[in-house]
Amino acid sequence: MSGGISGGFPGYRRDNSGSGAKQHVADRMKTDKGKRGGAISASNRDNGYRVKVSVGDKTQNDLCPVAKRCGGCQWMGRDYQEQLKEKEKQVRKLLAPYCRLEGILGMEQPLYYRNKVHAVFGEDKKHRPVSGIYEEYTHRIVPVDSCRIENQKADAIIVSIRELLPSFKIRPYNEDTGYGLLRHVLVRTGQVSGQIMVVLVLASPILPSKNNFVKALLKRHPEINTIVVNVNNRSTSMVLGDKEQVIYGKGYIEDTLCGKTFRISPKSFYQVNPAQTEVLYAKAMEYAALTGQETVVDAYCGTGTIGIIASDRAKQVIGVELNADAVRDARSNAKINQARNIQFYQNDAGRFLLEMEAQGARVDVVLMDPPRSGSSEEFLSAVARMAPGKVVYVSCSPETLVRDLKYMVGNGYRVERAVAVDMFPFTGHVETVCLLSKLNVEHHIEVEINLDEMDLTKAESKATYEEIKEYVLEHSGLKVSSLYIAQVKEKCGIIERVNYNLPKSENSRQPKCPLEKEVAIREALGYFQMI
């Protein structure tokens, strides 16, 4: 969600996908075609839960013969408590320069948690239909009937669809030849509502004998609430196409999260582990500590889940998201929940905040849940300029989180609290919630002093104005004036003995340093260790 500042920051990658296009743990998590079941014993721990999964003398790897080929569950053979320890260790190490990690919150029942199940369809050498998951780093299909982290009902529905294909003379799509019809099946389930949506992804819009096919599928699974045909006739790695046709039911399902009702359509972003999502959002709300008087911005808002949950506790909530489909769903969800103090806008989040600043608007709290690639430097810069008192950062990648924290800490914020949440058991992924607070530069100055080399002009002496200009020109192609450098140094709390670059009259009108040049100057100051 960014738009183009010249120069850019090392380590940053521009991301134009909104939350509606997020890929949290890639929809590649199909593993187990073995037997289900397993005894689960759980006991509460200070930092999570201890869960061992076993069936007789068999290990978890024994129960998942395709684990190595699938690659979705990297940790399927590891004790759950060990997984939690490893994830906590990883996040704690990365966040050590900024704050002390509170721990990790794990699941009581870490199996069959995914409410979104995707299967790719193809044929074996004898032209019999197969369904499963692409082998890691390939487009070879690994046959899968059941998976230990996916909703069991969803897996059973996919198997039934595969079994029905021959009788209806429906052939799976062949990527090499371009022949065939059925490409993918997507099943979404409501954890609380129990509602089920089936999405048939076809290479063409015509499903032969669709009414009879629907009847046959409903006969096997009367619990299905809606069936949608999605057309994807392009040579693409994307699962869903642009065209949809509802062939049974309403075309969407609903589920409850944190006491709120949310509508889920085929393309909606909705957390795949609702049980842990409630844990995640509860922590976010705890950190935000809303009193009912705040103006809150929900950036990367997706379908509006966390913003709508926050609306009960805030004076006003503003959601911003680049993905148009997600914004449409968010507005519908707000109406369903009668949330009248929340508005959603389709826009780039960084650009939107800058527009708010230009209009003199005030924001008290920013809630942000960016994609795995993290936030953009444009958005972070806009947040720093807007200067909300609190920023609650929900991250699905510790590495990009640390990168973004470094920027925010360098621009007037302090990391107050952080906690890890295990959203994806049996994988290496972990989510983190961080609370950042704005430092009051008038009352708070952090100084690191070397008593052996105490020098009040050390910050000034690290680089001259000419050296800063040369660095900015070389790395961003921008020419900056001494006045602009002086303005940015002042913002960063670098106090000079006499600032000869400012006009002598306090009433003199000065040109304000443009945002893209401010970003480049801050990068130079960081390079010379002046901030």
Catalytic annotation, residues? 396
Tokens 């990391």 belong to 415
Tokens of 84: 């939690």
CA-CA distance, 357 to 76, in Å (whole number)?
A: 48
Type of residue numbered 111:
L
Type of residue numbered 30:
K
CA-CA distance, 496 to 459, in Å (whole number)?
A: 9
Tokens of 82: 């060990």
CA-CA distance, 198 to 177, in Å (whole number)?
A: 26
CA distances from 297 to 17, 363, 396 (A): 18, 7, 19
Q: Which of 129, 116, 114, 133 is nearest to 167 (CA)?
A: 129
Q: Which of 146, 158, 142 is nearest to 70 (CA)?
A: 142
Q: Which of 407, 325, 342, 351 is nearest to 374 (CA)?
A: 407
CA-CA distance, 196 to 198, in Å (whole number)?
A: 7
Q: Is there a contact between 304 and 344 (Cβ–Cβ < 8 Å)?
A: yes
Q: Is there a contact between 383 and 390 (Cβ–Cβ < 8 Å)?
A: no
DSSP 172: B
Element (H, E) at 70: helix 67-70
Q: Which of 172, 265, 197, 181 is nearest to 231 (CA)?
A: 181
